[in-house]
Structure 1
Amino acid sequence: MAKPVKPAARRAGAGSKFAKVARGELLTLLDFVRFAVSRFVEAKLVFAHGTTDPVAEAAFLVCEALHLHPDQLDTFAAARVTAAEAKAILDLIERRVRTRKPAAYLVNKIYMRGVPFYVDERVIVPRSFIGEILDSHLGAGEDGGYALLGDPAEVEHVLDLCTGSGCLAILAARHFPNAQVDAVDISKDALAVAARNVSEHGLEERVKLHRGNLFAPLGDMRYDLIISNPPYVDAEGMAALPLECRAEPKLAFDGGADGLDLVRRILNEAGTHLTPQGGLLCEIGRGRERLEAACPQLPLLWLDSEDSEGEVFWIAAADLG
Protein backbone atom coordinates (compact mmCIF):
# COMPACT_ATOMS: atom_id res chain seq x y z
CA MET A 1 0.00 0.00 0.00
CA ALA A 2 1.32 3.41 -0.94
CA LYS A 3 2.20 5.69 1.92
CA PRO A 4 -0.12 8.68 2.33
CA VAL A 5 1.36 12.02 1.31
CA LYS A 6 2.10 14.10 4.36
CA PRO A 7 0.45 17.56 4.54
CA ALA A 8 3.80 19.32 4.43
CA ALA A 9 4.70 17.57 1.19
CA ARG A 10 1.35 18.44 -0.36
CA ARG A 11 1.67 22.07 0.58
CA ALA A 12 5.25 22.59 -0.55
CA GLY A 13 5.06 20.35 -3.61
CA ALA A 14 5.60 16.60 -3.37
CA GLY A 15 9.19 15.65 -4.10
CA SER A 16 10.53 19.21 -3.98
CA LYS A 17 13.73 20.00 -2.14
CA PHE A 18 11.67 22.25 0.13
CA ALA A 19 9.37 19.43 1.23
CA LYS A 20 12.38 17.21 1.93
CA VAL A 21 13.96 19.57 4.45
CA ALA A 22 14.14 17.26 7.46
CA ARG A 23 12.24 18.31 10.54
CA GLY A 24 14.76 19.59 13.04
CA GLU A 25 17.39 20.68 10.52
CA LEU A 26 16.11 24.27 10.49
CA LEU A 27 15.29 25.54 13.96
CA THR A 28 15.46 29.33 14.31
CA LEU A 29 14.25 32.30 12.31
CA LEU A 30 17.83 32.92 11.24
CA ASP A 31 18.12 29.32 10.00
CA PHE A 32 15.14 29.86 7.71
CA VAL A 33 16.46 33.20 6.48
CA ARG A 34 19.76 31.58 5.56
CA PHE A 35 18.00 28.69 3.84
CA ALA A 36 15.85 31.11 1.82
CA VAL A 37 18.87 33.19 0.78
CA SER A 38 20.62 30.08 -0.53
CA ARG A 39 17.57 28.99 -2.51
CA PHE A 40 17.00 32.48 -3.95
CA VAL A 41 20.61 32.84 -5.07
CA GLU A 42 20.57 29.31 -6.53
CA ALA A 43 17.43 30.15 -8.53
CA LYS A 44 18.88 33.49 -9.74
CA LEU A 45 15.83 35.46 -8.64
CA VAL A 46 15.50 39.18 -9.32
CA PHE A 47 14.97 41.60 -6.42
CA ALA A 48 13.46 44.97 -7.22
CA HIS A 49 10.09 44.97 -5.49
CA GLY A 50 10.53 46.56 -2.10
CA THR A 51 13.65 44.52 -1.30
CA THR A 52 16.94 44.93 -3.11
CA ASP A 53 18.81 41.72 -2.28
CA PRO A 54 18.16 38.07 -1.32
CA VAL A 55 18.86 38.65 2.38
CA ALA A 56 16.28 41.43 2.69
CA GLU A 57 13.74 39.40 0.71
CA ALA A 58 14.29 36.29 2.81
CA ALA A 59 13.89 38.29 6.02
CA PHE A 60 10.71 39.86 4.65
CA LEU A 61 9.09 36.54 3.77
CA VAL A 62 10.08 34.80 7.00
CA CYS A 63 8.71 37.67 9.08
CA GLU A 64 5.47 37.80 7.08
CA ALA A 65 4.93 34.07 7.54
CA LEU A 66 5.28 34.60 11.30
CA HIS A 67 3.21 37.82 11.43
CA LEU A 68 6.20 39.90 12.48
CA HIS A 69 7.25 43.34 11.29
CA PRO A 70 10.62 43.14 9.47
CA ASP A 71 12.13 45.38 12.15
CA GLN A 72 11.50 42.59 14.67
CA LEU A 73 13.77 40.05 13.01
CA ASP A 74 16.81 40.88 15.13
CA THR A 75 14.77 40.53 18.31
CA PHE A 76 13.56 37.03 17.43
CA ALA A 77 16.43 35.80 15.22
CA ALA A 78 17.40 33.04 17.66
CA ALA A 79 13.81 32.04 18.50
CA ARG A 80 12.66 28.52 17.59
CA VAL A 81 10.02 28.03 14.90
CA THR A 82 7.11 25.61 15.39
CA ALA A 83 6.42 22.79 12.94
CA ALA A 84 3.34 24.56 11.57
CA GLU A 85 5.29 27.81 11.16
CA ALA A 86 8.11 25.96 9.42
CA LYS A 87 5.66 24.56 6.86
CA ALA A 88 4.29 28.04 6.17
CA ILE A 89 7.77 29.50 5.70
CA LEU A 90 8.94 26.70 3.41
CA ASP A 91 5.77 27.05 1.35
CA LEU A 92 6.48 30.75 0.75
CA ILE A 93 10.11 30.09 -0.16
CA GLU A 94 9.08 27.35 -2.60
CA ARG A 95 6.37 29.52 -4.22
CA ARG A 96 8.78 32.44 -4.63
CA VAL A 97 11.26 30.23 -6.47
CA ARG A 98 8.71 28.25 -8.50
CA THR A 99 6.43 31.09 -9.63
CA ARG A 100 9.01 33.93 -9.83
CA LYS A 101 6.25 36.25 -8.63
CA PRO A 102 7.28 39.25 -6.52
CA ALA A 103 7.27 38.35 -2.83
CA ALA A 104 4.77 41.14 -2.15
CA TYR A 105 2.15 39.32 -4.24
CA LEU A 106 2.64 36.10 -2.28
CA VAL A 107 1.81 37.79 1.03
CA ASN A 108 -0.29 40.71 -0.30
CA LYS A 109 1.82 43.24 1.53
CA ILE A 110 4.66 45.70 1.03
CA TYR A 111 6.28 48.24 3.33
CA MET A 112 7.23 51.77 2.32
CA ARG A 113 8.95 53.95 4.91
CA GLY A 114 7.96 51.25 7.44
CA VAL A 115 4.26 51.65 6.60
CA PRO A 116 2.38 48.51 5.42
CA PHE A 117 0.26 48.51 2.26
CA TYR A 118 -1.94 45.89 0.64
CA VAL A 119 -0.94 44.85 -2.91
CA ASP A 120 -1.96 42.22 -5.43
CA GLU A 121 -1.54 41.56 -9.15
CA ARG A 122 -3.84 44.47 -10.05
CA VAL A 123 -1.09 46.99 -9.20
CA ILE A 124 2.63 47.37 -9.66
CA VAL A 125 4.55 46.54 -6.51
CA PRO A 126 5.44 49.94 -4.97
CA ARG A 127 9.15 50.74 -4.81
CA SER A 128 9.28 54.48 -5.43
CA PHE A 129 12.03 56.68 -3.99
CA ILE A 130 9.56 59.54 -3.59
CA GLY A 131 8.47 58.39 -0.14
CA GLU A 132 12.00 58.89 1.17
CA ILE A 133 12.40 62.19 -0.67
CA LEU A 134 9.24 63.58 0.95
CA ASP A 135 11.06 63.19 4.27
CA SER A 136 14.52 64.24 3.14
CA HIS A 137 13.71 67.22 0.89
CA LEU A 138 10.17 68.33 1.66
CA GLY A 139 10.35 68.59 5.42
CA ALA A 140 12.17 70.62 8.04
CA GLY A 141 15.79 71.22 7.09
CA GLU A 142 18.73 70.57 9.39
CA ASP A 143 19.16 74.30 9.92
CA GLY A 144 15.59 74.69 11.14
CA GLY A 145 14.37 76.03 7.80
CA TYR A 146 12.26 74.25 5.22
CA ALA A 147 13.43 72.66 1.99
CA LEU A 148 11.95 73.15 -1.48
CA LEU A 149 8.31 73.63 -0.51
CA GLY A 150 8.11 75.29 2.88
CA ASP A 151 6.46 74.18 6.11
CA PRO A 152 4.69 70.80 5.58
CA ALA A 153 1.89 71.97 7.88
CA GLU A 154 1.05 74.78 5.45
CA VAL A 155 0.64 72.54 2.40
CA GLU A 156 -3.08 72.40 1.57
CA HIS A 157 -3.45 70.46 -1.68
CA VAL A 158 -1.36 67.56 -3.05
CA LEU A 159 -1.84 65.55 -6.24
CA ASP A 160 -0.51 62.04 -6.86
CA LEU A 161 -0.57 61.13 -10.56
CA CYS A 162 -0.48 57.43 -11.56
CA THR A 163 -1.21 56.50 -7.95
CA GLY A 164 -1.42 52.72 -8.43
CA SER A 165 -1.90 51.21 -4.96
CA GLY A 166 -2.25 54.67 -3.44
CA CYS A 167 0.87 54.31 -1.31
CA LEU A 168 2.44 57.66 -2.25
CA ALA A 169 -0.86 59.50 -1.77
CA ILE A 170 -1.14 57.98 1.70
CA LEU A 171 2.47 58.79 2.60
CA ALA A 172 1.87 62.35 1.38
CA ALA A 173 -1.23 62.64 3.57
CA ARG A 174 0.81 61.48 6.56
CA HIS A 175 3.67 63.86 5.72
CA PHE A 176 1.46 66.91 5.11
CA PRO A 177 -0.97 66.72 8.04
CA ASN A 178 -3.33 69.48 6.84
CA ALA A 179 -3.40 68.64 3.15
CA GLN A 180 -6.18 67.24 1.01
CA VAL A 181 -4.75 64.70 -1.44
CA ASP A 182 -6.13 63.84 -4.87
CA ALA A 183 -4.90 60.57 -6.41
CA VAL A 184 -5.42 59.73 -10.10
CA ASP A 185 -5.02 56.52 -12.06
CA ILE A 186 -6.36 55.30 -15.39
CA SER A 187 -6.79 51.73 -14.11
CA LYS A 188 -10.05 50.77 -12.43
CA ASP A 189 -8.36 47.73 -10.89
CA ALA A 190 -5.54 49.80 -9.42
CA LEU A 191 -8.00 52.24 -7.88
CA ALA A 192 -9.81 49.35 -6.19
CA VAL A 193 -6.55 48.45 -4.45
CA ALA A 194 -5.90 52.11 -3.63
CA ALA A 195 -9.37 52.42 -2.11
CA ARG A 196 -8.64 49.49 0.18
CA ASN A 197 -5.38 51.06 1.34
CA VAL A 198 -6.98 54.47 1.89
CA SER A 199 -9.69 52.82 4.00
CA GLU A 200 -7.25 50.69 6.01
CA HIS A 201 -5.26 53.82 6.86
CA GLY A 202 -8.40 55.74 7.84
CA LEU A 203 -7.84 58.50 5.28
CA GLU A 204 -11.15 58.50 3.39
CA GLU A 205 -11.78 62.12 4.40
CA ARG A 206 -8.41 63.36 3.16
CA VAL A 207 -7.49 61.21 0.14
CA LYS A 208 -9.84 61.30 -2.85
CA LEU A 209 -9.41 58.86 -5.73
CA HIS A 210 -10.10 59.80 -9.37
CA ARG A 211 -10.17 57.60 -12.44
CA GLY A 212 -8.85 59.24 -15.58
CA ASN A 213 -5.93 60.08 -17.84
CA LEU A 214 -3.46 62.23 -15.87
CA PHE A 215 -4.98 65.70 -15.24
CA ALA A 216 -8.23 65.06 -17.17
CA PRO A 217 -10.53 64.39 -14.17
CA LEU A 218 -9.29 67.37 -12.12
CA GLY A 219 -10.74 70.37 -13.95
CA ASP A 220 -8.90 73.58 -13.09
CA MET A 221 -7.77 72.43 -9.63
CA ARG A 222 -4.35 73.70 -8.51
CA TYR A 223 -1.94 72.06 -6.08
CA ASP A 224 0.93 73.04 -3.83
CA LEU A 225 2.67 69.78 -4.77
CA ILE A 226 2.31 67.27 -7.57
CA ILE A 227 4.05 63.92 -7.15
CA SER A 228 4.21 61.21 -9.78
CA ASN A 229 5.88 57.87 -10.39
CA PRO A 230 4.54 57.30 -13.93
CA PRO A 231 5.34 54.46 -16.35
CA TYR A 232 8.83 55.20 -17.68
CA VAL A 233 10.30 51.98 -19.09
CA ASP A 234 11.41 52.36 -22.72
CA ALA A 235 10.80 49.82 -25.50
CA GLU A 236 14.18 48.15 -25.02
CA GLY A 237 13.58 47.83 -21.30
CA MET A 238 10.07 46.43 -21.82
CA ALA A 239 11.51 43.68 -24.01
CA ALA A 240 14.03 42.75 -21.32
CA LEU A 241 11.79 42.78 -18.24
CA PRO A 242 12.63 39.91 -15.84
CA LEU A 243 9.98 37.31 -15.00
CA GLU A 244 9.18 39.00 -11.69
CA CYS A 245 8.25 42.23 -13.47
CA ARG A 246 6.23 40.38 -16.10
CA ALA A 247 3.86 39.35 -13.31
CA GLU A 248 2.99 43.04 -12.83
CA PRO A 249 0.56 45.10 -14.98
CA LYS A 250 2.25 46.10 -18.24
CA LEU A 251 0.37 49.40 -18.16
CA ALA A 252 2.33 50.43 -15.07
CA PHE A 253 5.69 50.08 -16.86
CA ASP A 254 5.29 51.07 -20.51
CA GLY A 255 6.51 54.61 -21.10
CA GLY A 256 6.65 54.43 -24.89
CA ALA A 257 9.61 54.17 -27.24
CA ASP A 258 11.97 56.28 -25.12
CA GLY A 259 10.15 55.90 -21.80
CA LEU A 260 9.14 59.57 -21.66
CA ASP A 261 5.65 59.63 -23.19
CA LEU A 262 3.82 60.37 -19.93
CA VAL A 263 6.66 62.40 -18.44
CA ARG A 264 6.49 64.88 -21.33
CA ARG A 265 2.74 65.24 -20.89
CA ILE A 266 3.10 65.79 -17.15
CA LEU A 267 5.72 68.49 -17.68
CA ASN A 268 3.61 70.17 -20.37
CA GLU A 269 0.46 70.27 -18.24
CA ALA A 270 1.69 70.53 -14.64
CA GLY A 271 2.21 74.30 -14.74
CA THR A 272 -1.51 74.96 -15.12
CA HIS A 273 -2.26 72.79 -12.07
CA LEU A 274 0.29 74.21 -9.64
CA THR A 275 -0.01 77.12 -7.24
CA PRO A 276 2.60 79.88 -7.81
CA GLN A 277 4.84 78.59 -5.01
CA GLY A 278 4.26 74.90 -5.79
CA GLY A 279 6.34 72.30 -7.56
CA LEU A 280 6.47 68.94 -9.30
CA LEU A 281 8.30 65.88 -7.92
CA CYS A 282 8.60 63.10 -10.53
CA GLU A 283 10.43 59.79 -10.72
CA ILE A 284 11.73 58.61 -14.10
CA GLY A 285 14.21 55.85 -13.34
CA ARG A 286 17.32 55.96 -15.50
CA GLY A 287 15.90 58.38 -18.05
CA ARG A 288 17.79 61.47 -16.89
CA GLU A 289 20.01 61.89 -19.96
CA ARG A 290 17.09 61.40 -22.35
CA LEU A 291 14.91 63.88 -20.49
CA GLU A 292 17.64 66.53 -20.27
CA ALA A 293 18.27 66.15 -24.00
CA ALA A 294 14.54 66.42 -24.75
CA CYS A 295 13.93 69.41 -22.43
CA PRO A 296 17.19 71.36 -22.20
CA GLN A 297 15.33 74.57 -21.30
CA LEU A 298 13.98 73.18 -18.02
CA PRO A 299 16.05 73.71 -14.82
CA LEU A 300 15.45 70.26 -13.38
CA LEU A 301 16.83 69.64 -9.89
CA TRP A 302 17.87 66.00 -9.52
CA LEU A 303 17.42 64.51 -6.06
CA ASP A 304 19.18 61.45 -4.62
CA SER A 305 17.91 58.94 -2.11
CA GLU A 306 19.67 56.26 -0.11
CA ASP A 307 19.36 53.78 -2.99
CA SER A 308 19.14 56.02 -6.06
CA GLU A 309 21.05 58.78 -7.80
CA GLY A 310 19.41 61.17 -10.24
CA GLU A 311 16.19 59.18 -10.73
CA VAL A 312 13.80 61.78 -9.27
CA PHE A 313 13.57 65.41 -10.32
CA TRP A 314 12.02 68.54 -8.83
CA ILE A 315 10.92 71.58 -10.76
CA ALA A 316 9.23 74.66 -9.34
CA ALA A 317 5.97 75.99 -10.78
CA ALA A 318 7.68 79.25 -11.73
CA ASP A 319 10.10 77.33 -13.97
CA LEU A 320 7.32 75.50 -15.79
CA GLY A 321 5.70 78.70 -17.02
Structure 2
Amino acid sequence: MMEGRVAIVTGAGGGIGRDIALAMAREGAKVVVNDLGASMTGEGADAGPAQQVVNEIRAFGGEAVANTDSVADPAAANRIVMTALESFGRLDAVVNNAGILRDRFFHKMSVEEFDAVIKVHLYGSYFVSRAAATHFKEQNSGSFVHMTSTSGLIGNYGQANYAAAKLGIMALSKSIALDMQKFGVRSNCIAPFAWSRMIGSIPTETEAEKARVDRMKQMTPAKIAPLAVALASDAGAMATGQVFAVRNNEIFLMSQPRPIRSVHRGEGWTPESVANHALPALQGSFYALDRSSDVFTWDPV
Protein backbone atom coordinates (compact mmCIF):
# COMPACT_ATOMS: atom_id res chain seq x y z
CA MET A 1 0.00 0.00 0.00
CA MET A 2 2.98 2.36 0.41
CA GLU A 3 5.08 1.16 -2.52
CA GLY A 4 7.14 4.02 -3.95
CA ARG A 5 6.17 6.33 -1.09
CA VAL A 6 8.34 8.05 1.51
CA ALA A 7 7.21 8.44 5.11
CA ILE A 8 8.54 10.24 8.19
CA VAL A 9 7.64 8.74 11.56
CA THR A 10 8.67 10.85 14.57
CA GLY A 11 9.37 9.25 17.92
CA ALA A 12 9.91 5.97 16.10
CA GLY A 13 12.72 4.54 18.20
CA GLY A 14 10.29 2.48 20.26
CA GLY A 15 6.66 1.83 21.14
CA ILE A 16 3.91 2.94 18.78
CA GLY A 17 6.26 4.89 16.49
CA ARG A 18 8.53 1.89 16.00
CA ASP A 19 5.67 -0.39 15.00
CA ILE A 20 4.28 2.21 12.60
CA ALA A 21 7.70 2.64 10.99
CA LEU A 22 8.09 -1.14 10.61
CA ALA A 23 4.59 -1.48 9.15
CA MET A 24 5.19 1.37 6.70
CA ALA A 25 8.37 -0.31 5.51
CA ARG A 26 6.69 -3.71 5.16
CA GLU A 27 4.10 -2.04 2.93
CA GLY A 28 6.86 -0.70 0.69
CA ALA A 29 7.54 2.77 2.09
CA LYS A 30 11.00 4.26 2.43
CA VAL A 31 11.05 5.50 6.03
CA VAL A 32 12.79 8.27 7.94
CA VAL A 33 12.97 6.91 11.49
CA ASN A 34 13.14 9.98 13.72
CA ASP A 35 13.90 9.67 17.41
CA LEU A 36 15.90 11.85 19.76
CA GLY A 37 16.50 8.84 21.99
CA ALA A 38 15.40 10.70 25.11
CA SER A 39 13.79 9.28 28.23
CA MET A 40 10.01 9.20 28.73
CA THR A 41 10.27 12.67 30.33
CA GLY A 42 12.32 14.03 27.42
CA GLU A 43 15.71 14.02 29.11
CA GLY A 44 18.95 12.84 27.53
CA ALA A 45 19.60 11.81 23.93
CA ASP A 46 20.73 8.58 22.31
CA ALA A 47 21.09 7.85 18.58
CA GLY A 48 20.77 4.12 19.23
CA PRO A 49 16.97 3.60 19.20
CA ALA A 50 16.41 5.20 15.78
CA GLN A 51 19.32 3.30 14.21
CA GLN A 52 18.12 0.04 15.74
CA VAL A 53 14.74 0.41 14.04
CA VAL A 54 16.50 1.26 10.76
CA ASN A 55 18.52 -1.93 11.15
CA GLU A 56 15.33 -3.93 11.71
CA ILE A 57 13.81 -2.49 8.53
CA ARG A 58 16.90 -3.17 6.48
CA ALA A 59 17.04 -6.72 7.82
CA PHE A 60 13.80 -7.61 6.02
CA GLY A 61 14.83 -5.77 2.84
CA GLY A 62 13.24 -2.38 3.51
CA GLU A 63 14.77 1.05 3.09
CA ALA A 64 15.16 3.47 5.99
CA VAL A 65 17.41 6.15 7.42
CA ALA A 66 17.76 7.40 10.98
CA ASN A 67 17.30 10.98 12.13
CA THR A 68 17.85 12.22 15.69
CA ASP A 69 16.65 15.83 15.43
CA SER A 70 14.23 17.24 17.99
CA VAL A 71 10.70 17.97 16.75
CA ALA A 72 10.46 20.79 19.32
CA ASP A 73 12.84 23.03 17.34
CA PRO A 74 11.71 24.50 13.99
CA ALA A 75 15.15 24.32 12.39
CA ALA A 76 15.53 20.70 13.50
CA ALA A 77 12.05 19.90 12.18
CA ASN A 78 13.11 21.25 8.80
CA ARG A 79 16.15 18.96 8.92
CA ILE A 80 13.85 15.97 9.50
CA VAL A 81 11.96 16.80 6.31
CA MET A 82 15.20 17.47 4.43
CA THR A 83 16.45 14.03 5.49
CA ALA A 84 13.54 12.50 3.56
CA LEU A 85 14.08 14.68 0.51
CA GLU A 86 17.86 14.22 0.41
CA SER A 87 17.75 10.49 1.11
CA PHE A 88 14.77 9.46 -1.00
CA GLY A 89 13.91 12.42 -3.26
CA ARG A 90 10.35 13.00 -2.07
CA LEU A 91 7.95 12.91 0.90
CA ASP A 92 4.43 11.49 0.97
CA ALA A 93 3.43 10.96 4.58
CA VAL A 94 4.22 12.36 8.02
CA VAL A 95 3.28 10.58 11.25
CA ASN A 96 3.59 12.97 14.20
CA ASN A 97 4.11 10.52 17.03
CA ALA A 98 6.93 11.98 19.16
CA GLY A 99 5.98 12.80 22.72
CA ILE A 100 7.00 13.03 26.36
CA LEU A 101 5.19 12.94 29.71
CA ARG A 102 5.54 15.24 32.72
CA ASP A 103 2.46 14.20 34.70
CA ARG A 104 1.55 16.33 37.71
CA PHE A 105 -1.69 17.48 39.33
CA PHE A 106 -2.55 20.91 37.99
CA HIS A 107 -2.09 22.85 41.23
CA LYS A 108 1.44 21.42 41.48
CA MET A 109 2.44 21.68 37.81
CA SER A 110 5.37 23.98 37.04
CA VAL A 111 5.65 26.26 34.04
CA GLU A 112 8.58 24.17 32.82
CA GLU A 113 6.56 20.94 33.05
CA PHE A 114 3.70 22.48 31.11
CA ASP A 115 5.95 24.10 28.52
CA ALA A 116 8.10 21.02 27.85
CA VAL A 117 5.10 18.81 27.01
CA ILE A 118 3.41 21.46 24.85
CA LYS A 119 6.67 22.02 22.97
CA VAL A 120 7.17 18.37 22.00
CA HIS A 121 3.56 17.37 21.29
CA LEU A 122 1.83 20.47 19.93
CA TYR A 123 4.70 22.59 18.66
CA GLY A 124 6.46 19.45 17.43
CA SER A 125 3.44 18.43 15.37
CA TYR A 126 3.18 21.96 14.00
CA PHE A 127 6.90 22.34 13.20
CA VAL A 128 7.20 19.04 11.32
CA SER A 129 3.87 19.48 9.54
CA ARG A 130 4.73 23.03 8.50
CA ALA A 131 8.12 21.92 7.17
CA ALA A 132 6.40 19.22 5.07
CA ALA A 133 3.44 21.35 3.96
CA THR A 134 5.30 23.28 1.26
CA HIS A 135 6.46 20.06 -0.41
CA PHE A 136 3.00 18.48 -0.16
CA LYS A 137 1.47 21.59 -1.76
CA GLU A 138 3.96 21.55 -4.64
CA GLN A 139 3.28 17.89 -5.46
CA ASN A 140 -0.49 18.17 -4.85
CA SER A 141 -0.54 15.21 -2.49
CA GLY A 142 0.41 14.17 1.01
CA SER A 143 -0.97 12.78 4.23
CA PHE A 144 -0.52 13.77 7.86
CA VAL A 145 -1.31 11.35 10.69
CA HIS A 146 -1.18 12.94 14.14
CA MET A 147 -1.35 11.23 17.52
CA THR A 148 -3.95 12.69 19.86
CA SER A 149 -5.20 11.08 23.10
CA THR A 150 -8.40 10.41 24.98
CA SER A 151 -6.70 12.28 27.83
CA GLY A 152 -7.35 15.40 25.74
CA LEU A 153 -10.53 14.32 23.96
CA ILE A 154 -12.22 13.15 27.19
CA GLY A 155 -10.01 13.91 30.19
CA ASN A 156 -7.69 12.39 32.77
CA TYR A 157 -6.09 13.14 36.12
CA GLY A 158 -2.72 14.84 36.40
CA GLN A 159 -2.23 15.54 32.70
CA ALA A 160 -3.22 19.15 32.06
CA ASN A 161 -0.11 19.72 29.94
CA TYR A 162 -0.51 16.50 27.92
CA ALA A 163 -4.28 16.90 27.53
CA ALA A 164 -3.99 20.51 26.36
CA ALA A 165 -1.39 19.52 23.79
CA LYS A 166 -3.37 16.53 22.53
CA LEU A 167 -6.64 18.43 22.16
CA GLY A 168 -4.68 21.18 20.41
CA ILE A 169 -3.35 18.58 17.98
CA MET A 170 -6.92 17.64 17.08
CA ALA A 171 -7.65 21.27 16.16
CA LEU A 172 -4.33 21.60 14.33
CA SER A 173 -5.14 18.53 12.24
CA LYS A 174 -8.61 19.82 11.35
CA SER A 175 -7.15 23.19 10.33
CA ILE A 176 -4.54 21.52 8.13
CA ALA A 177 -7.28 19.39 6.53
CA LEU A 178 -9.38 22.50 5.77
CA ASP A 179 -6.53 24.69 4.54
CA MET A 180 -4.82 22.09 2.36
CA GLN A 181 -7.69 20.05 0.92
CA LYS A 182 -7.49 21.99 -2.36
CA PHE A 183 -3.92 20.72 -2.75
CA GLY A 184 -4.88 17.08 -2.27
CA VAL A 185 -3.39 17.00 1.24
CA ARG A 186 -5.14 15.06 4.02
CA SER A 187 -4.79 15.24 7.81
CA ASN A 188 -6.22 12.89 10.43
CA CYS A 189 -5.73 11.98 14.09
CA ILE A 190 -5.43 8.72 15.99
CA ALA A 191 -5.98 8.35 19.73
CA PRO A 192 -4.09 5.15 20.55
CA PHE A 193 -4.63 2.72 23.40
CA ALA A 194 -1.48 0.67 23.86
CA TRP A 195 0.28 -1.14 26.70
CA SER A 196 3.51 0.67 27.50
CA ARG A 197 5.83 1.63 30.32
CA MET A 198 3.57 4.65 30.83
CA ILE A 199 0.77 2.48 32.19
CA GLY A 200 2.93 -0.34 33.47
CA SER A 201 2.47 0.69 37.12
CA ILE A 202 -1.15 -0.55 37.36
CA PRO A 203 -1.43 -2.74 40.49
CA THR A 204 -1.64 -6.52 40.07
CA GLU A 205 -2.17 -7.66 43.64
CA THR A 206 -5.34 -9.69 43.09
CA GLU A 207 -6.21 -12.34 40.52
CA ALA A 208 -8.83 -10.02 39.02
CA GLU A 209 -6.25 -7.24 38.67
CA LYS A 210 -3.76 -9.63 37.09
CA ALA A 211 -6.39 -10.82 34.59
CA ARG A 212 -7.29 -7.23 33.74
CA VAL A 213 -3.66 -6.30 33.12
CA ASP A 214 -3.16 -9.43 31.00
CA ARG A 215 -6.09 -8.32 28.82
CA MET A 216 -4.65 -4.81 28.60
CA LYS A 217 -1.30 -6.22 27.48
CA GLN A 218 -3.07 -7.44 24.34
CA MET A 219 -3.18 -3.77 23.29
CA THR A 220 0.30 -3.85 21.80
CA PRO A 221 1.70 -0.86 19.89
CA ALA A 222 1.47 -2.97 16.72
CA LYS A 223 -2.33 -2.72 16.94
CA ILE A 224 -2.11 0.99 16.06
CA ALA A 225 0.02 0.58 12.94
CA PRO A 226 -2.56 -0.76 10.42
CA LEU A 227 -4.78 2.33 10.73
CA ALA A 228 -1.79 4.68 10.50
CA VAL A 229 -0.57 2.97 7.32
CA ALA A 230 -4.04 2.98 5.75
CA LEU A 231 -4.55 6.69 6.49
CA ALA A 232 -1.11 7.53 5.06
CA SER A 233 -1.72 5.59 1.86
CA ASP A 234 -3.73 6.47 -1.23
CA ALA A 235 -6.26 3.85 -0.13
CA GLY A 236 -7.22 6.18 2.74
CA ALA A 237 -8.11 9.04 0.40
CA MET A 238 -11.71 9.25 1.66
CA ALA A 239 -10.61 10.25 5.17
CA THR A 240 -9.50 13.75 6.14
CA GLY A 241 -10.21 15.91 9.16
CA GLN A 242 -11.27 12.83 11.15
CA VAL A 243 -10.37 11.60 14.63
CA PHE A 244 -10.04 7.86 15.20
CA ALA A 245 -9.20 5.74 18.24
CA VAL A 246 -7.70 2.26 18.27
CA ARG A 247 -8.22 -0.07 21.24
CA ASN A 248 -6.83 -3.54 20.65
CA ASN A 249 -9.01 -4.89 17.78
CA GLU A 250 -11.51 -2.01 17.81
CA ILE A 251 -11.34 1.12 15.64
CA PHE A 252 -13.52 4.03 16.70
CA LEU A 253 -14.56 7.18 14.88
CA MET A 254 -14.61 9.86 17.57
CA SER A 255 -17.12 12.70 17.75
CA GLN A 256 -16.20 16.34 17.22
CA PRO A 257 -17.75 19.28 19.12
CA ARG A 258 -21.14 20.34 17.76
CA PRO A 259 -24.08 22.23 19.38
CA ILE A 260 -26.34 19.86 21.30
CA ARG A 261 -28.90 22.21 22.89
CA SER A 262 -29.73 25.92 23.00
CA VAL A 263 -31.89 28.40 24.87
CA HIS A 264 -33.14 31.74 23.53
CA ARG A 265 -34.48 34.87 25.23
CA GLY A 266 -35.91 37.55 22.93
CA GLU A 267 -34.99 40.45 25.19
CA GLY A 268 -31.46 39.19 25.69
CA TRP A 269 -29.77 37.87 28.81
CA THR A 270 -28.80 39.27 32.17
CA PRO A 271 -26.55 37.51 34.66
CA GLU A 272 -29.64 36.75 36.74
CA SER A 273 -31.65 35.27 33.85
CA VAL A 274 -28.65 33.18 32.78
CA ALA A 275 -28.43 31.79 36.33
CA ASN A 276 -32.20 31.32 36.73
CA HIS A 277 -33.14 30.20 33.22
CA ALA A 278 -30.29 29.31 30.85
CA LEU A 279 -28.14 27.17 33.14
CA PRO A 280 -31.02 25.13 34.64
CA ALA A 281 -32.49 24.57 31.15
CA LEU A 282 -29.17 23.32 29.82
CA GLN A 283 -28.14 21.38 32.91
CA GLY A 284 -29.73 18.14 31.77
CA SER A 285 -27.29 18.06 28.84
CA PHE A 286 -24.15 18.91 30.85
CA TYR A 287 -21.21 16.53 30.55
CA ALA A 288 -19.99 14.74 33.63
CA LEU A 289 -16.41 15.09 34.79
CA ASP A 290 -15.53 11.89 32.98
CA ARG A 291 -12.08 10.42 32.55
CA SER A 292 -11.10 8.26 29.60
CA SER A 293 -11.60 5.11 31.69
CA ASP A 294 -15.16 6.21 32.58
CA VAL A 295 -16.10 6.29 28.89
CA PHE A 296 -14.19 3.19 27.76
CA THR A 297 -15.49 1.01 30.58
CA TRP A 298 -15.32 -2.44 28.95
CA ASP A 299 -12.27 -4.63 28.60
CA PRO A 300 -10.46 -4.51 25.24
CA VAL A 301 -11.66 -7.13 22.77
Q: Normalization by structure 2: what TM-score?
A: 0.28
**Which structure has the bigger radius of gyration?**
1
Structure with the greater relative contact order (CA < 8 A, sep ≥ 6): 1 or 2?
2
Greater helix percent: which structure?
2
Q: Normalization by structure 1: what TM-score?
A: 0.27
